[in-house]
Amino acid sequence: MEYEFNFPIQSKLKPEEYDALRKAASPRNIQKGTILQAGQSECHGLFLVRNGQLRAYTTNSEREITLYRLFEDDICLFSASCIMNNLQFDVYIEAMENTDIWVIKADVYKKLMESSVIIANYTNELMASRFSEVMWLFEQVMFHSFDKRLANFLQNEISISGSNLLTMTHEEIANHLGSAREVVTRMLKHFQTDNIVKLSRGSIEIIDTKKLDDICS
What residues line the site for its own copies (CB under 8 A)? 58, 60, 62-63, 65, 84-89, 113-117, 120-121, 123-132, 134-139, 141-143, 178
CA quadruple 189, 182, 187, 155: dihedral positive or negative? negative
* CB of residue 84 to its own copies, shortest distance in Å: 5
* CB of residue 201 to its own copies, shortest distance in Å: 29
* CB of residue 99 to its own copies, shortest distance in Å: 23
Rounded Cα–Cα distance for residues 107 and 146 (Å): 42
Rounded Cα–Cα distance for residues 207 and 197 (Å): 5
Instruction: End-to-end CA distance of the chain: give it in Å, rounded.
Output: 47
Burial (CB count within 10 angstroms: exposed 0-12, middle 13-18, buried 19+), residue 155: middle
Compare residues 141 and 207 and give the one whose CB is closer to its own copies: 141
The one-letter amino acid at 128: A
* CB of residue 48 to its own copies, shortest distance in Å: 17
Rounded Cα–Cα distance for residues 1 and 21 (Å): 19
Compare residues 93 and 196 and give the one whose CB is closer to its own copies: 93
Residue 190 DSSP label: H
CA distances from 105 to 48, 168, 196 (A): 11, 34, 47
* CB of residue 35 to its own copies, shortest distance in Å: 18
Compare residues 31 and 88 and give the one whose CB is closer to its own copies: 88
What is the rounded (10 degree) CA torsion for 108, 101, 11, 69?
Answer: -110
Rounded Cα–Cα distance for residues 16 and 94 (Å): 32
* CB of residue 118 to its own copies, shortest distance in Å: 9
